[in-house]
A and B are shown apart, each in its own frame.
Chain A
């Protein structure tokens, strides 16, 4: 049924799209149709070419070959304006909002003739209010974007498209930053819009979402369209196989008994800063031989906690103990000395130095202790160490003298992992350790963390991916606005329960009971 609908009235047609970045082929001869009122999911791993394809459709990149047709007419390549005028709206994964402007200003931007006399603010706000009511996208037009939550910002992005009367809406990984409840709200909005004739392209790598929202799934792998299935004719297992191109085995994590607490926070708070949410009297124990998962929507204090444990900031109140020794002077160097291993959130910015080679990056934490002799660096030992990591951690690279920026994300992360695990750390801080990696690399990193756990390390796993948290963690905490939930043992809470804490609900109840 879907197929005939597509054949009769394609609102959108991509024909033989090919796009190269240098030698890398990001999209290879991809063709795709979209019918009125249809939801097509574009499924694929990171780097499969999904975002590139949609950026071509939206005119941000010009395709090297092929063309885009909307309602039967060809779009000029490389012009977002033409795409917008043709009725295409796009919600980018990284929001494109001006933070210091208000919601309505962001929405009307570009919709009026540039040299027009007035912004017609009142009319614009009325239209926005009407749209947000009818599509259940609650947001205040006068609010400044910088004061909005991530979920609200996404609603503004969708309103931007609806305000222009978009007929085709592209959503790039829209649930990556949402709580499960917010994601449900988004799906409700999308169903409402589709019911009114909107067509949607939904980019994701999460199988359950794709099965829940899409009529049809298109799978991309290494820049090629490898399969197309109606959701009714496929299964999560089949899609997973198509996406990865085979099967990979995910490591198993069974429950373990906890060892002694190696790192304890007791009522720890930190000072307020401009950019990060401060910690609000949190108490946390990291036990030997256990993975402690920390769930939460990003920006709720996880970065602060990570900075605290890394030694970048010190507590302003409360007690911090490491292996039963109270910590007074606290710095990154002290943290390293205490055996804390850090896998930073952003391997490009803080995990590695892009223009240093593998040898140098491998010794960033130990250059002065392990590889120095009376102030001179022992390059021979350093090089040997790097070769050892390349061998042991299966880092695919031309050699130890390769600049790290030339490595893929997965190989870069393997180096970071090897750098910290080689020293048999007692405490491991793993902040988003698999973000942006493909499934093979994800399984590798998880397996190594599992081995470190077996070896008796206390691991703090910070992640926005609830599936990852629930699979790996022996105990789970949730962070919301700098507060920490109580610990939940493996299997004692599900995604919905965690979602409620992520939205801050549990904290209110707890405060209520306390008073």
Chain B
């Protein structure tokens, strides 16, 4: 009874889409990196940095979209560092990625302390407001879920479409896919493997940071430590779940977010009285693992993922 009621409520689906939005940004960012053959484990730290950079920029007086741009630039900076180490120097992508996550996270907290030395509760900003799209938002359930969101959510969905189109319909997308499959085949066609991979890692990292900024500028209106809370790692799983395809990864993000929204509501029902709430918190993760096991069996991993390419090596 309770469960059916939850599933048919507009507020549940609206929450699912809202929770999915930062995941969509970061998942698309990771997807671009991996399609180009670079596993970016810096994602968690880059999201933290993006969440902070966007929020502090707005707090310092920039407009909201200016904050988004600052977050993106911060992410691209860390992406450039990742690219130099993993692509140009060909270092282990695992080590570089974990290093970037640790560096970005601690650098963020350090900057926070330097910028706001005396503050015990972080200041609030005027976050993105819900922008209801006329007519469309009047459709029952779906309207409130899809068309009564903040502009950043619309951007996330639009981005996925543009990304899919670019990946499969343009020379740039073909080059990115090829460089993740067989860098040698790209090199002999006269393109620079390093440039394409660097570009992908930098742009992808920028998107991850925007995903982080969604948390401080749209979902909430302030910055807290541990705000990202493992979302980056979830996005890495979502890329696998989506079989490295933008559309499927988008669905994966929504599915995961729906589990999350569902468990919050389930805690408040009759079942919540008898079951410890930690069980509910685990639910999305357990279901993700199950979905991952079922979905990724026949997924086609980019063949050159995590394989550095050294020109002129014999």
Interface residues of A (CB under 8 A from B): 21, 52, 58, 60-62, 78-81, 83-85, 90, 92, 96-101, 105-106, 108-119, 160
Contacts and interface: CB of A to CB of B under 8 A. Distances in A.
Contacts of A105: 174, 177-178
Contacts of B181: 98-101
A78 B190 CA distance: 11
Summarize A's interface: helix, strand, loop or mixed: loop
A116 B182 contact: no
A98 B36 CA distance: 12
A61 B188 CA distance: 12
Contacts of B184: 96
B183 to A, nearest CB: 9
A115 B195 CA distance: 13
B186 interface: yes
Nearest to B314: A21
Contact of B188 (A78, A96, A99, A116): A96
A62 B312 CA distance: 8
A96 B302 CA distance: 15
B185 A115 contact: no
Given A78-B312, A108-B174, A100 B303 contact: yes
14 contacts: A52-B314, A60-B187, A81-B191, A97-B182, A101-B174, A101-B177, A105-B174, A105-B178, A109-B178, A110-B189, A114-B171, A116-B170, A116-B171, A116-B172
A60 B185 contact: no
A96 B175 contact: no
Contacts of B300: 100
B243 to A, nearest CB: 11
Nearest to A52: B314
A398 B311 CA distance: 32
A114 B189 CA distance: 12
A80 B174 contact: no
Given A90-B188, A100-B303, A110-B191, A117 B170 contact: yes
B274 interface: no
Given A81-B190, A92-B188, A112-B171, A101 B312 contact: no
Interface centre among A58, A84, A109, A119 (most CB of B within 10 A): A109
A320 B182 CA distance: 40
Contact of A99 (B170, B172, B182): B182
Contacts of B188: 58, 60, 80, 90, 92, 96
B171 A113 contact: yes
A116 B169 CA distance: 10
Interface string B275-298: 000000000000000000000000
B248 to A, nearest CB: 16
Interface in B173-209: 174-175, 177-178, 181-182, 184-191
Contacts of B178: 98, 101, 105-106, 109
Nearest to B177: A101
A26 to B, nearest CB: 9
Nearest to B191: A110
Contact of A109 (B169, B189, B303, B312): B189
Nearest to B185: A96
B312 A60 contact: yes
A115 B171 contact: yes
Contact of B172 (A90, A108, A114): A114
A117 B187 CA distance: 22
A119 B182 contact: no
Nearest to A160: B189
Given A98-B181, A110-B175, 20 more contacts: A21-B314, A58-B188, A80-B187, A81-B190, A85-B190, A97-B185, A98-B177, A98-B186, A99-B181, A99-B182, A105-B178, A106-B178, A109-B178, A109-B185, A109-B191, A114-B172, A114-B191, A117-B170, A119-B170, A119-B171
